[in-house]
Amino acid sequence: MTWLVPLPVVMPLLGAALTLLLARRARAQRWVSIIVLTATVAVAAMLLVRSSLDGPLVVEVGGWAAPMGIVLVADQLAALMLVVSASVTLCVLVYSIGQGMADGNEETPLSVYHPTYLVLTAGVCNAFLSGDLFNLYVGFEILLVASYVLLTLGSTETRIRAGTTYVVVSLLSSLIFLVAIGLVYSATGTLNLAQLADRLDALPDDIRLVLQGMLLLAFGIKAAVFPLSAWLPDSYPTAPAPVTAVFAGLLTKVGVYAIIRTETLLFPGGRTADLLMVIAALTMVVGILGAVAQSDIKRLLSFTLVSHIGYMLFGVGLTTPLGLSAAIFYVVHHITIQTTLFLAAGLVERRGGSTALDRLGGLARLSPMLAVLFFVPALNLAGIPPFSGFLGKLGLVQAGVDDGGFLAWSLVAGGLLTSLLTLYAIARVWNLAFWRAPHADMPEPGDADRAARTDGAEQPHDGPAPAGAVLPRLMTVSTAALVVLGLALTVVAGPLFDISTDAADDLLRRAPYVEAVFPEGPP
Amino acid sequence: MSPNVPNLVYVVVIGVLFATGVTLLLERSLTRVLMGVILLGNGANLLLLTGGRAGGPPIVGTTAQEDMSDPLPQAMVLTAIVITLGMTAFLLALAYRSWHLNGHDEVQDDVEDRRIMELADRDEGPGTSDSDTVDAADGSPEARVLAAGEAEAVR
């Protein structure tokens, strides 16, 4: 079954090439993208099943043996991430297709959207599957370059401004990562993760600490951990809704995934665990205080995104099996929910003409469907029982209480406070945008269509959405699908927690990963 | 692994590249930031290169095996160079587009920062008790940043 492993990287890349060739044929492009991503979801699901049953699947790319060649490793953690991220990208793709068709941009220059989107998916999958530090860097670069293009789509003034900050910060983090790779190689003579796990142990403590610190710094910027998170709320909200949604769901989580790998496989023993816990607490609290102060839904959601990264670091910092498994569960939950909320925010922007809270009102009456699509994931994010957000936080709190240290207890307190403040921020959105009486100038459904007909004006294809547009069915359906997926996480929380516990055990034992790559022991 | 002592010249060059790169990266103009990124990228590439053993070309038949240089960092540097090339092109395009839209390529402040600065200018924001420092601002980006910094310090 190992032939399945490279497919999540290869298929989207081939799909990207094909959609680029089909640049003039929007309909064909759409079908290619949908088919490729559906196939990726299927392959990822099969990988998850196989890796749960038989242990990690390993492929030596090009047939070159492990320490020299590059390996792709699909262990349970990687496969689980693949399944979730592929499903989310598929839903967001359908949403963006719905948006594109509703705006009637059959012949717009956005033909570059589909290829870039598929390249982004390939980069994300490559980062998850990589068993080699340099290949991880390449995966990061693939997804980042694609994200630069997606973030500056249409190159309007705000997007150029936001894109500049984003690109420069990302470049800096990539450079730090590259320097760290150079140092790791000169210290150990290898970049294969499994071999590194063995050789890094032999290094003096101070050198290990420098290497670990540099890797954590690079991944911390990508994961938007507190002192390094300022770029995120500034750049994400300017992009088109589906792009923001997929970035929010996936990009920071790739950083979190890399942190998990670094902390468990490469540098076990938790020397930086205390540092991670302090940072986790700061990320949670500072992030959510930022969210409370916002008056725009998209910016508010960006701050909750930063804040909830803290929960995952909390679990990683505890370095106990329960903490790590709760962190993995939380990553899965958060990818789904945060994406859903951004898609719902896109729908709000379409219906209400804006995401600024002072210009919205009465959406619950005007569009009950939209209200449900926002309300359910919002409560899920805040951690109201019985949703998966509650279960993930419960796991983390349980792990923190078991640990019993001062830091762990402060984190439990910080986590609960953050959860409460998330509920407050979300309730504010709900009250202002959905519950209060509608504004007199709230656009009616179909306003935009009528205006377009009378003016004969062209619809902007990617600017602010035409106010008062009827919600296109495809967009509503794909958002609803993600809401259902989020609810399904609650229903299958038991089995999912079993998988994440298995994954966490494997991560902490390290041997399964190393033995899968080097059956006869690392050379 | 043979003992691998990097050449001092390399180390100094890498240090200079990083220092100049970081300095340029802190500039406001995107073109200078780009120069900084290029210098930093070259520094990082040299650093990667010094990670491997030096020696003759790693081709079987031309060099004895123990005299060969380490080919792996060279392969990685090639990849990194290609990535830097693509990024340089993209940043240039961004700078050009920014010049097209605004007449300059300065990296602008975050929306939030600008809002806080506007509040400070109108003497409404937090930490503007010392209104003289704010009034001294003449509206140029540097002066505004300075004013905001002072307001911050006062707070």
How close does chain B come to A326, measured CA to CA in Å? Answer: 34
Contacts of B47 in chain A (CB under 8 A): 179, 182-183
Average pLDDT, chain A: 86
Please name the member of A138, A145, A167 whose beta carbon is closest to the beta carbon of B94. A167
- Amino acid identity, position A86: A
Q: What is the pLDDT of residues B113-124, one digit of tens each?
A: 777 888 888 876
* pLDDT of residue A439 exceeding 90: no
* pLDDT of residue A404 exceeding 90: no
Decide if A485 touches B, using CB distance below 8 A.
no
For residue A167, what is the nearest residue in chain B, using CA coordinates? B91
Please name the member of A148, A152, A175 whose beta carbon is closest to the beta carbon of B44. A175
Please provide the CATH number assigned to the domain covering B8-102.
1.10.287
- CB B40 within 8 Å of CB A175: yes
Res A440: pLDDT: 64
Bridge partner residues of A356 (DSSP): A296
Candidates B135, B136, B148; CA nearest to B109 is: B148
Contacts of A171 in chain B (CB under 8 A): 37, 87, 91
Res A417: pLDDT: 93
| CB burial of residue A206 (10 Å; 0-12, 13-18, 19+) | exposed
Separation between Cα atoms, residue A436 and residue B127, nearest integer Å: 34
Res B146: pLDDT: 47
* pLDDT of residue A60 exceeding 80: yes
Mention every residue, 6+ apart, whose C-beta is less than 8 A from residue A198: A514, A522
* pLDDT of residue B154 exceeding 50: no
* pLDDT of residue A384 exceeding 60: yes
Q: What is the pLDDT of residues A217-231, one digit of tens each?
A: 999 999 999 888 888
- Mean pLDDT (whole number) for B64-70: 83
ipTM of the complex: 0.82
Separation between Cα atoms, residue B43 and residue A494, nearest integer Å: 50
Comparing B73 with A469, which gets the higher pLDDT? B73
**Percentage of chain A modeled with pLDDT above 90:** 43
Q: Given an 8 Å threshold on Cβ–Cβ distance, is A160 in contact with B107?
A: no
Please name the member of B30, B40, B86 whose beta carbon is closest to the beta carbon of A175. B40
Query: A446 falls in which pLDDT band (50, 70, 90)?
Result: low
Comparing A118 with A2, which gets the higher pLDDT? A118
* pLDDT of residue A259 exceeding 90: yes
Helix (H) or strand (E) holding A72: strand A71-74
The residue of B35, B83, B105 whose CB has the most chain A CBs within 10 angstroms, and thus the best one to mutate to test that interface, is B83
- The dihedral sign for the CA sequence B61, B62, B67, B71: negative
Contacts of B52 in chain A (CB under 8 A): 185-186
Decide if B72 touches A, using CB distance below 8 A.
yes
Res B152: pLDDT: 47
Tell me the residues of chain A between 233 and 272 that have a Cβ less than 8 Å away from chain B. 233-234
Separation between Cα atoms, residue A252 and residue A242, nearest integer Å: 16
* pLDDT of residue A465 exceeding 70: no
Average pLDDT, chain B: 77
**Percentage of chain B modeled with pLDDT above 70:** 75
Q: Could you give the angle at which helices A321-352 and A297-318 cross, rounded to 10 degrees?
A: 170
3-state secondary structure of A437: coil
- Mean pLDDT (whole number) for A418-426: 93
pTM equals 0.88
Total number of residues shown for chain B: 155
Q: Given an 8 Å threshold on Cβ–Cβ distance, is B111 in contact with A234?
A: yes
Separation between Cα atoms, residue A432 and residue A426, nearest integer Å: 10
Separation between Cα atoms, residue B128 and residue A404, nearest integer Å: 44
Q: What is the pLDDT of residues A140-164, one digit of tens each?
A: 999 999 999 988 887 788 888 888 8
Contacts of A295 in chain B (CB under 8 A): none
**What does the domain layout of chain A look like in residue ranges?**
2-457+464-514
For B39, the token pair is 């210098």
Angstrom CA distances, A478 to A245, A471, B71, B132, stand at 12, 12, 48, 55
Please name the member of B4, B44, B79 whose beta carbon is closest to the beta carbon of A186. B4
- Mean pLDDT (whole number) for A179-186: 92
Res B143: pLDDT: 47
Res A306: pLDDT: 93
Mention every residue, 6+ apart, whose C-beta is less than 8 A from residue B60: none
* pLDDT of residue A454 exceeding 50: no
Candidates A463, A473, A458, A403; CA nearest to A155 is: A463
Decide if A175 touches B, using CB distance below 8 A.
yes
| CB burial of residue B26 (10 Å; 0-12, 13-18, 19+) | exposed
- CB A59 within 8 Å of CB A71: yes
How close does chain A come to B135, measured CA to CA in Å? Answer: 27
Comparing A444 with A57, which gets the higher pLDDT? A57
Q: Could you give the angle at which helices A493-509 and A26-54 cross, rounded to 10 degrees?
A: 70
Res A307: pLDDT: 93
- SS3 of A446-465: the string is CHHHHHHHHHCCCCCCCCCC
Q: Given an 8 Å threshold on Cβ–Cβ distance, is A175 in contact with B76?
A: no
Q: Given an 8 Å threshold on Cβ–Cβ distance, is B44 in contact with A179?
A: yes
Tell me the residues of chain B between 109 and 128 that have a Cβ less than 8 Å away from chain A. 110-112
Please name the member of B6, B79, B98 whose beta carbon is closest to the beta carbon of A164. B98
Q: What is the pLDDT of residues A488-521, one digit of tens each?
A: 988 998 999 999 998 998 888 888 888 888 888 7
Candidates A336, A338, A343, A335; CA nearest to A373 is: A343
**What does the domain layout of chain B look like in residue ranges?**
8-102, 111-154
Contacts of A178 in chain B (CB under 8 A): 44, 48, 80
How close does chain B come to A333, measured CA to CA in Å? Answer: 29
- Mean pLDDT (whole number) for A69-80: 90
Considering just the CA atoms, what is the radius of gyration of chain A in Å? 22
Termini Cα distance of chain B: 56
Helix (H) or strand (E) holding A404: none
Instruction: Name the least confident of A32-41, A439-448, A458-467, B98-107.
Output: A458-467
Q: Which residue has the tokens 């640990």?
A: A403
- CB A422 within 8 Å of CB A288: yes
Res B125: pLDDT: 53
Res A280: pLDDT: 92
- Mean pLDDT (whole number) for A443-455: 50
Q: What letter would DSSP give residue B127?
A: T
Q: Given an 8 Å threshold on Cβ–Cβ distance, is A165 in contact with B25?
A: no
Separation between Cα atoms, residue A116 and residue A148, nearest integer Å: 10
For A108, the token pair is 């717009």
Separation between Cα atoms, residue A427 and residue A435, nearest integer Å: 10
* pLDDT of residue B137 exceeding 50: no
Res A443: pLDDT: 62
Please name the member of A141, A160, A182 whose beta carbon is closest to the beta carbon of B48. A182
Decide if B40 touches A, using CB distance below 8 A.
yes
Separation between Cα atoms, residue A100 and residue A29, nearest integer Å: 12
Res A445: pLDDT: 55
Res B64: pLDDT: 83
